[in-house]
Amino acid sequence: MSTAPPAPSALAALVELLDLERIELNLFRGKQPDEKRQRVFGGLVAGQALIAAGRTVEARAVHSLHAYFLRPGDPTIPIVYQVERTRDGRSFSTRRVTAIQHGRAIFTLSASFHIEESTFDHQRAMPDVPGPEALVDWQDAMRQVLAERAPQHAREDRHLVAWVDRERPIESRHVELMDYFGGRQEPQASIWIRARGTLPDDPLLHRCVVAYASDMTLLDTAARPHPIQLLSDESENASLDHAMWFHRPFRADEWLLYAQESPNLSGARGLTTGHFYRRDGTLVASVVQEGLFRIRPRAAQMLGSA
C-alpha cells in the first residue's frame, strides 16, 4: 500500500514559494500557499517580487526596496511578476517589478542593488531587552491567552485557535505580547525572529525571508495604543506601502531582534518603523511601513456608545 509523501515544513514551503518559475526574459510566476486566506499576504508578494528583481542582477546585493500595495491579491491563482531593467550603472542597478493578477497590477516594487563598498560606519544601538531564551514562543503564549479567555468567547475563538496552531515558517518571541483584543499599550514592540530551520547559503534568499517576516507585525505595533481588535472582523487593516534598507550581512535562520515603533496614526493611516539587529548588536536592516486602519460602521457605533 503506497503512502503519500510527508508534507514539507512551513519553511520548506516558503522557500519553494520564493523559487519563482521563469516564464520568459524578465517575466516570472509565483505560486500561492494552499491556505484559506481572503487576500495574499503582503510579505509574500514583497519577497517574491524581490526574488524576481534579484534574478535579473549579477554580482550586486540588494540594498533597498520601495513598494506599494495597490489591490488585494487573489490567493487562489498565481501571481505574474514583470521586471523592468531600469538601469545598470557602474556601482548600482535598479529594477522595477509589477505584480499582476487578472490583468491588473496589484503591487509594485522598486529595488536597488549595489556593489560591495566600504567607507565610514555608524549605527543606532540595539535596545536592551531579554534574549530569546528568556521568552516564550509566540504560539505557546497565544495558546495560553486563548485558554484563559472567558467561556462566552469559546465559539468565536475556535478559528483563532486553528490560526494560532498553524505551522509557520518564522519563529517569533515577543518581549511584550500584544493584546489582540483591544487593550491599550505603548506603540512599541521588540520581537526576536528567525526562520524555523536552516536556509540555503543564498544572501538574496535571506533578505527575501526577512522582507517576508518584516510585514508580519508592523500593523500590530501601530494598533497597540487603540481599542482595535485586529483578530476580529470589526476592523479593516492592510499594508499600504513598505520600504526596506539592508545595511549589513545577516542570516535569517539566526535570531534577529525586530525593534518597532509607531510614531503616528491619523487619517486612518498608521506609520511604523522597524530595525533588525543581530544578537551581537549589529544593525542589519531598517523598515518603514504605512498601514490602513478602518473601523467598520457597527463597531464604530459600539465604540462611540462605550
Structure confidence by residue, pLDDT tens digits, 136-179:
999 999 999 888 876 766 666 778 888 899 999 999 999 999 98
Residue 230, pLDDT score? 76
- What architecture (CATH level 2) is domain 169-306? Roll (3.10)
Q: For the residues 41-53, what does the mean pLDDT come to?
A: 97
Nearest CA to 59 out of 115, 110, 111 is that of 115
Q: For the residues 184-202, what does the mean pLDDT come to?
A: 96
Q: For the residues 192-209, what does the mean pLDDT come to?
A: 97
Q: For the residues 69-95, what does the mean pLDDT come to?
A: 97
pLDDT > 70? residue 200: yes
Nearest CA to 197 out of 11, 33, 47 is that of 11
Nearest CA to 139 out of 90, 177, 113 is that of 177
Residues ≥6 apart with Cβ < 8 Å to 66:
109, 110, 111, 241, 242, 243
Nearest CA to 261 out of 110, 62, 124, 107 is that of 124
- Count of alpha carbons within 13 angstroms of residue 122, beta-carbon side: 1
Q: Picking from 126-130, 173-177, 205-209, 227-231, which range would have the lowest pLDDT averaged per residue?
A: 227-231
Residue 156, pLDDT score? 67
pLDDT > 90? residue 123: yes
> Quick one: pLDDT band at residue 231, thresholds 50, 70, 90?
confident
Distance (Å, rounded) from C-alpha 143 to C-alpha 106?
A: 34
Name the amino acid, one letter, at 40: V
For CA atoms 223, 227, 231, 236, the dihedral sign is negative
Distance (Å, rounded) from C-alpha 247 to C-alpha 249?
A: 7
Residues ≥6 apart with Cβ < 8 Å to 270:
219, 222, 223, 262, 264, 290, 291, 293
Helix axes 10-18, 42-54, angle to 10 degrees: 50
Please identify every residue annotated as catalytic. 215, 239, 289
Residue 35, pLDDT score? 75
Distance (Å, rounded) from C-alpha 281 to C-alpha 286?
A: 14
Instruction: List every span in the chain annotated with CATH 3.10.129.10.
Output: 1-117, 169-306
Residue bearing the bigger pLDDT, 86 or 305 = 86
Distance (Å, rounded) from C-alpha 294 to C-alpha 229?
A: 11
CB 117 within 8 A of CB 56: no
Residue 37, judged by CB atoms within 10 A of its CB (0-12, 13-18, 19+), counts as middle
Q: Picking from 38-52, 131-145, 231-245, which range would have the lowest pLDDT averaged per residue?
A: 231-245
Cα radius of gyration (the chain):
20
Residue 148, pLDDT score? 84
Distance (Å, rounded) from C-alpha 29 to C-alpha 141?
A: 37
Q: For the residues 173-202, what does the mean pLDDT come to?
A: 93
Q: For the residues 294-300, what does the mean pLDDT come to?
A: 64
pLDDT > 60? residue 7: no
pLDDT > 50? residue 299: no
Tell me the average pLDDT of the chain: 91
Q: What is the CATH number of domain 1-117?
A: 3.10.129.10
Q: For the residues 201-229, what does the mean pLDDT come to?
A: 94
pLDDT > 90? residue 34: no
Q: For the residues 221-249, what does the mean pLDDT come to?
A: 89
Structure confidence by residue, pLDDT tens digits, 53-67:
999 999 999 999 999
C-alpha cell at 195: 526562520
